Amino acid sequence: MNTLSRPDLSDIKKGDWVDRRLPKAWRPYTRLARLDRPVGIWLTLFPCWAALVQASHGIPELRHLIVFTLGALLMRSAGSTVNDIADRKFDGHVERTRFRPLVSGQINVPQAILFLLAQLVLAASLLLFLSPFTLLVAICVLPLVLIYPLCKRFTYWPQAVLGAAFNWGMLMAWSEIAGKIPAGAFLTWVGAIAWQIGYDTVYAYVDMKDDTRLGLKSTAILFGERGKSFIGLFYIVSVAAWTLGGWMIGMTMPYAFGILIVAAHLAWQTWRIDLSRPHLSYSLFLANIFTGVLLAFAAFIGTL
């Protein structure tokens, strides 16, 4: 079935709180930053919060929570803006994205670039509250953030680049609080990348027909009908990395119980996957917000 016959797949929902409550001039920028679709922000925040808890060996200081929360929100939003600028010529041909602000003409490219610069300036201002080492770690992620929107043109693994970039806050949390990034912390970051490859592949199946027609690449196109097995494999890698990494950074036994719950939830997701049903794929993608909640909870009880 042609996806253009399924208008309900669009990720812009007419008549939502953006249309009802915000001034007309604000609406395209709110959608450009994905504030109307905050799933990506939550999926970035929860692993970062988990790392903050682990590095702090308990509840983090309020200033760290504020800085890292705002940083995750701003960088995720800036990444979304970069993505829409880079993909504006493709998004109009994809059912899920054809009503986005740049495609529909609500704003133009120069306006989007100015908005991006404002986001980056705000994000950079947060670095004033962090250590020089964390500043260096933060600068290292910028190439990944900027190159990600172009990855689908030349590699089947844009999900891996996205996972590395938007879980970078986990490494920054350790550099800021502990003054170093231990091997166990690095391994939990690798686990988050594997997790993101898994759930973002589920998401990519929603667009697979359109992406194939446009000559774009993704793990969904690479895996094809074997996607369910590969997604399950990446979820297994993520659980293994979180388990071993947690042990290496001194998590207590309750952490293992929390990760067991995470594993059960991811197993349930994998069992539910039906690659021929885009709406189910999107629902399972959203279910990973709960995975993030469970991961942060496991980190917290692992410090008790």
Residue 206: CB partners within 8 Å, gap ≥ 6?
Answer: 9, 96, 278, 281, 282, 285
Residue 274: CB partners within 8 Å, gap ≥ 6?
Answer: 280, 281
* Confidence (pLDDT) at 92: 75
* Confidence (pLDDT) at 8: 54
* Confidence (pLDDT) at 103: 86
* Confidence (pLDDT) at 3: 38
- The matching CATH number, chosen from 3.40.50.2000, 1.10.1050.10, 3.60.15.10, 1.10.357.140, for 20-301 is 1.10.357.140
* Confidence (pLDDT) at 10: 67
* Confidence (pLDDT) at 265: 98
For 203, the token pair is 């998401």
Residue 207: CB partners within 8 Å, gap ≥ 6?
Answer: 94, 95, 96, 97, 218, 220
pTM for the whole structure: 0.90
Say how far apart CA 265 and CA 288 lie, in whole Å.
9
Say how far apart CA 154 and CA 177 lie, in whole Å.
37
**What are the sequence ranges of the domains in the chain?**
20-301
* Confidence (pLDDT) at 114: 95
Q: What is the mean pLDDT of each run of 10 residues along the chain (304 residues)?
A: 45 78 89 88 95 96 95 89 86 78 88 94 92 94 86 93 94 96 97 97 90 92 95 98 97 97 97 90 93 97 94
* Confidence (pLDDT) at 150: 87
